[in-house]
Amino acid sequence: MADKQFDVLVIGGGPGGYVAAIRAAQLGFKTACAESNPYADPKGEPRLGGTCLNVGCIPSKALLHTSHLFEEAEHSFEGQGIKVSGGVSIDVPTMIGRKNKVVDQLTQGIKGLFKKNKVTFLAGHGSFESAGAGGYVVKVGNETVEAKHVIIATGSKPRHLPGIPVDNKIVCDNVGALDFDSVPKKLGVIGAGVIGLEMGSVWRRLGSEVTVLEALPDFMGFADLDVAKEALKVFKKQGLAIETGVTIGDTKVTKKGVSVAYTDKDGKEAKLECDRLIVSVGRVPNTDGLNAAAIGLNVNERGQIVVDGHCKSNLPNVYAVGDVVRGPMLAHKAMEEAVMVAEIIAGQAGHCNLDMVPGVIYTSPEIAWVGKTEQQLKAEGVAYRAGKIPFMANGRALGSGDPTGFVKMLACATTDRILGVHIIGANASELISEAVVAMEFGAASEDLARICHAHPTLSEVVHEAALAVDKRPLHF
């Protein structure tokens, strides 16, 4: 006999897990959520929020904000008539402390949401024991729990490279990169993905000499080609040294720091000497300790739990969401899947359209996109029209002192339906939502072109890009 019974048990307390638990409880189910990772909790107690809130999305944005303010004060204030006497300096421990306070506030806030919605928090790792007529028996810490429905939301963990041990002091993944105690003079970054570019940007702004080594031949090959070219140009101008097409060799930790041997794109041997190294080469699904085999849960060769379009596994009443299943490893994707699953369990029509999940890189300028890239449309043989407008043509961007980048809109040449929107520029992360809404409802570029946008706003560039699809922009 299990110690506790629930209608719904969620394993994992990250964005997918805690949202699934809250929505299930809102729908009237007796719900529990199991989480065991303490992250950096001073008491060693399990913390809700997962990678995103504790060592990912939220703390990185706090550091990006602080470092952006520092760079603005150092390089942009004087041009706007703002005098800073005595120069600008950064107090790294204070910056890290502020970041930690933001994390603490949000993780504690989830506990409050659990209390408000009557979700039971179980401190411990969820591990399947058996399946029976009454549901699934799961071991959580020292307790045995039985649940009719189980939602797995165990997230992902950093992928590490063989031969490069991560200690999160000198050689770091995302966890250590968020907690440097000082600004390294020279910083190496392996991987030019989202995490590498964001964390490289943070420490470059604060004074590090940053070199990014990328194995793939093309920079940001996942992005629209125009955006990738603009981003590379801007990042190099800012001072990021970026090398693509490299092969990483021996990496050694020395008394002075880290030595990375590599072969460049032309086959020449080279060596990067740095004080600290960030390894950011992607993430892998986390099914450690889940004991999936005990109940016959299907896990593929990549470590992902195999699910259908509604996140149902091969077993009745067992679902999985977020980084542990197919699709982009993004917190907002996990949350949408979580709501969908809870509503399906309740007999409702849950929905999550993976084709309309936006991607964002929070560098400066920000980069955001949704839908198809131009190279994808060409490869698929889809006839399209494109509209592209620079922020340089926008009054708000000029007045704010940051007119870098553009908005690019792609629409079907036959139906005018919007197929993709790609933005590089200030506040791209906020501007992309208009495109997501439009595309989710099957809008044409003309629909956005005929909607009144407030003036002066950055959103007018989206409006102008829609007009440009029909070759009739008004301000460019």
- Catalytic positions, please? 455
Q: Which of 275, 245, 241 is nearest to 263 (CA)?
A: 245
- Starting from the edge strand earliest in sequence, which strands make up the sheet with 186-190, in order? 171-172, 276-279, 186-190, 209-213, 241-243
State the burial class of residue 92 (Cβ atoms within 10 Å of its Cβ: 0-12, 13-18, 19+).
Answer: middle
How many residues does this entry show for the chain?
Answer: 476
CA distances for 174 relative to 30, 106, 241, 354, 462, angstroms = 35, 19, 20, 25, 33
Contacts of 318 (CB under 8 A, 6+ apart): 136, 149, 150, 152, 295, 297, 312
Residue identified by tokens 């942009």 is: 76
- CA distances to 26, 112, 121, 335 from 118, rounded to whole Å, are 9, 10, 9, 19
Q: How far apart are CA 462 and CA 432, in angstroms?
A: 9
Of residues 186, 146, 191, 147, the one with CA closest to residue 173: 191
φ, ψ at 407 (rounded to 5°): -115, 130
Which residues, in sequence order, are bridge partners of residue 257?
A: none
